[in-house]
């Protein structure tokens, strides 16, 4: 006699909200709120909390795959948390360093490229903004197609920003002078800065490619709508 299959429990809104990776996302939000509240009074604790939150970004993705708890809400929560966290740190750096416009421009590029990429993903009917297999740009495909490359570039960006925040002594620091000062001294910190600068540069290049590629998709979508019967 064949055994009766046990039906899977019906999903509810609450059960999705309480997915393990989503709970990790809520903890990241609270951690970042507290970190930015104390960023000037306790730089080291801020840097630790910020970096732990960033590491949790990888943990929640692992949990989503491990426990089969991948969700659209979780993906959006993850991206919004990442973008807002980085944006807040860039705003702080823009107040500490001169010219501050450099960090504000990086902020605009980061948010603009990711927002357009996410929107163009939905226009194409793809499940993830990381699905760029049909792209003709080798760097773009290498970045999203290799987890190690993407992880290195993302970590490099955040580590560079944290280091710049930690070494700033006042609110009128010259960015070029600080970087030159770090490069002139043969210390472990200068080696780390040199290493992460490469990953930072690659990520900014990918952001520029992402911005242009996603914008092209949006424009082509409009053209196809105009010419469709």
Q: Which residue segments constitute the domains of the chain, with CATH numbers given?
A: 13-227 (1.20.120)
Q: 1, 22 in Cβ contact below 8 A?
A: no
User: What angle do helix axes 72-96 and 43-66 make, rounded to 10 degrees?
Assistant: 160
Name the pTM for this structure.
0.89
Question: Coil, helix or strand for 226?
Answer: helix
pLDDT of residue 130: 82
pLDDT of residue 200: 97
DSSP state of 39: T
Report the Cα 206 to chain-centroid distance in Å.
Answer: 12
Neighbours of 51 (CB within 10 A): 15
Positions of the chain with pLDDT under 50: 1
pLDDT of residue 54: 93
Tokens encoding 77 = 């929560």
pLDDT of residue 10: 76
pLDDT of residue 169: 85
Give the residue numbers annotated as catalytic, written as ranges: 82
Q: 46, 35 in Cβ contact below 8 A?
A: yes
The beta strand positions in the chain, using DSSP E, are 97-98, 173-174
Among 76, 91, 83, which Cα is nearest to 36's? 91
pLDDT of residue 128: 78
Neighbours of 5 (CB within 10 A): 6
Report the Cα 189 to chain-centroid distance in Å.
Answer: 24
**Helix H or strand E segment including 1:** none
pLDDT of residue 7: 58
Neighbours of 28 (CB within 10 A): 24
């Amino acid at each position: 006699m064949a055994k009766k299959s046990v039906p899977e429990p019906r999903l509810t809104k609450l059960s999705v909200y309480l997915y393990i990776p989503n709970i990790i996302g809520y903890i990241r939000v609270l951690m970042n709120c507290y970190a930015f509240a104390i960023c000037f009074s306790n730089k080291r604790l801020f840097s630790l909390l910020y970096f732990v939150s960033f590491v949790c970004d990888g943990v929640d993705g692992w949990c989503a795959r491990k426990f089969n708890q991948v969700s659209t809400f979780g993906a959006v929560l993850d991206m919004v948390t990442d973008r807002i966290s980085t944006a807040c740190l860039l705003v702080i750096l823009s107040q500490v360093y001169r010219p501050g416009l450099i960090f504000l421009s990086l902020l605009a590029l980061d948010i603009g490229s990711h927002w357009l990429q996410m929107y163009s993903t939905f226009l194409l009917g793809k499940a993830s903004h990381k699905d760029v297999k049909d792209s003709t740009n080798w760097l773009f495909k290498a970045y999203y197609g290799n987890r190690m490359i993407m992880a290195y570039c993302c970590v490099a960006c955040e580590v560079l920003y944290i280091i710049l925040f930690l070494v700033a002594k006042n609110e009128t620091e010259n960015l070029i002078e600080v970087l030159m000062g770090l490069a002139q001294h043969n210390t472990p910190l200068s080696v780390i800065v040199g290493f992460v600068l490469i990953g930072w540069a690659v990520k900014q290049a990918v952001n520029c490619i992402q911005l242009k590629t996603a914008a092209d998709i949006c424009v082509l979508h409009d053209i196809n709508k105009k010419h469709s019967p």
